[in-house]
Amino acid sequence: MSEAESESRAGREEVWIEKYRPDSLDDVMGHEDIVGRLQSYVRRNDLSHMLFSGPAGTGKTTCATAIARELYGENWREHFLELNASDERGIDVVRDRIKNFARTSFGGHEYRIIFLDEADALTSDAQSALRRTMEQFSNNVRFILSCNYSSQIIDPIQSRCAVFRFSPLSDDAVEQEIRHIAAEEDIELTDDGVDALVYAAAGDMRKAINGLQAASVSGDVVDESAVYAITSTARPEEIHDMVQSALDGDFTAARATLDRLLTEEGIAGGDVIDQLHRSVWEFDVDDEAAVRILERVGETDYRITQGANETVQLEAMLATLAKGQ
């Protein structure tokens, strides 16, 4: 790839996420049931307050903007306020920015939409203030709240919203979209590259697109090697071999693989745990052994998230598996 081509592709990289965000609910992939329910609201032009809950990259923001585009047309941005609660999490945001938007004129439409992303990052006081604001302006504003964990949203807010739970996208949906983008951007994408992107994404469309963008800048062809290198993801067979060595009692070999993943490939311990968890049922073990592996994976994950040294904890996990305990 020439320097000019590399710079051109890098320049385009910044806009891919928004460039390929669906403009219509009809184009949203992987959530047919949710889309059908949302379309019924749009057809009646009668939205309720909504709570979108689910993992990152599964279409929550896309659905919110698609609703606004269908209701308001080209001027949708004038009637759609997007706030990120993780950046603006204090009570002042609820009292000031939301109220100011709710009180301004909105010519020609019965209501405007306030989209509050990562609402589970709001403090309890801010959520209480939001509840009162939702009541006060319910005649001319509809709220769409987005969160990863609905349990972090107080019950009074949940009871005022229609709840939509987004699950990770299917592998087929992710593959279809990245193949479409690769064709549109004239990227040579191999079949093993597609499989690697789907595996690395784990149902997160944003992660798949970002991986495709980054890998396309690094070389002429997006293949398996490029994807795993750019996404800092271990190959599934490496995780399998590491754990299988431990289960066979060969701790030295298992530790050597772990050391290579952590030091040479720079993969985070938490990511190793996540991939191991996804691969447990691929090992040639009985149910009792699988339960034992999952128990150790869960304990190791907890210790790492609490701040323990990830290398020590992962080695201890492999040692326990090697001892057959």
State the binding site.
54-61
Cβ neighbours of 1 (radius 10 Å): 13
Convert the chain into a string of H (helix), E (strand) and C (coil). Answer: CCHHHHHHHHHHHCCHHHHCCCCCHHHCCCCHHHHHHHHHHHHHCCCCCEEEECCCCCCHHHHHHHHHHHHHHHHHHHHEEEEECCCCCCHHHHHHHHHHHHHCCCCCCCCEEEEEECHHHCCHHHHHHHHHHHHHCCCCEEEEEEECCHHHCCHHHHCCCEEEECCCCCHHHHHHHHHHHHHHCCCEECHHHHHHHHHHHCCCHHHHHHHHHHHHHHCCEECHHHHHHHCCCCCHHHHHHHHHHHHCCCHHHHHHHHHHHHHHCCCCHHHHHHHHHHHHHHCCCCHHHHHHHHHHHHHHHHHHHCCCCHHHHHHHHHHHHHHCC
- Determine the Cα–Cα distance for residues 38 and 35; give it in Å rounded to an integer: 5
Burial of 241 (0-12, 13-18, 19+ CB in 10 A): middle
Single out the residue of 58, 65, 278 nearest to residue 177, CA to CA.
58
Q: Binding site for ATP: residue ranges?
A: 54-61
